Amino acid sequence: MTDDAIADGESHRLSRQDRALPSAAQWDHWHSTCYPRVVTHKEADLFYRHLSPRPGTAAVDLGCGNGQWTRQLARWGLRVRGYDFSQEALRQAHAATTGHNPGYASWDIAGSPALADMPTGTLDLATCRDALPYFHHPELLTQIARWLRPTGAFYALTNLTPQHAKRRPREFHRGLTLRELHTVGSNWPHRLVYRLSPQRYAVILRLQ
């Protein structure tokens, strides 16, 4: 497997429409008519084995959708907040949640990877399931590295798309090509990539 760089710097400067990203209204429609992928026992078991999440640690779930994974993190005792662009997704997430953990908030991560009220060095974990292909991940990972404590980690789950695909369609199950997958966090000190199924891959990044 190679770590060839991809020339994606221009993509962040293009508009949401030029990048063929779904609008908030399109995401709302999708969340009201479709059902996101469930969290499988295999995914949860491998995540727990590799990261051993400790109760009480601080986490964020980026592109949380209706909060299935956010709630899984909360069941392990993490203090977690989920962020999403879709108000319908957040409505469903709130409806499925009791108490104050997890919490949810609106954030157009694709439009602005920076979050002004996220203090530096305060997070133990950041996760991103199925949303990474919609973001400019080099810039987002730079932000996440600032938010994490030195012992913190980042976890992503993504589909794999054919290497020869000329462009990504405007749809709701985007993935990364193998080439793109191996650029995700390639400059982080510790990096683990593993396969959950033929077309589903997980990435774990650590600062130390």
The string of pLDDT tens digits covering residues 121-139 is 999 999 999 999 888 889 9
Q: Which of 158, 117, 163, 162 is nearest to 134 (CA)?
A: 158
Query: In sequence order, what are the beta bridge partners of 190?
Result: 206
Q: pTM of the predicted model, to two decimals?
A: 0.84
Query: Residue 135 in contact with residue 178, Cβ under 8 Å?
Result: no
Among 1-10, 41-50, 131-140, 155-164, which range has the highest average pLDDT? 41-50
Between 159 and 109, where is the model more confident?
Answer: 159
Q: Which of 112, 10, 125, 107 is nearest to 63 (CA)?
A: 107
The string of pLDDT tens digits covering residues 24-61 is 777 667 667 777 778 999 999 999 999 999 999 999 99
> Is residue 162 scored above 90 in pLDDT?
no
If pLDDT is split at 50, 70 and 90, which confidence band does 117 have? confident
> Is residue 100 scored above 90 in pLDDT?
no
Query: Residue 22 in contact with residue 111, Cβ under 8 Å?
Result: no
Tokens 């399109």: give the residue: 26
Between 163 and 10, where is the model more confident?
Answer: 163
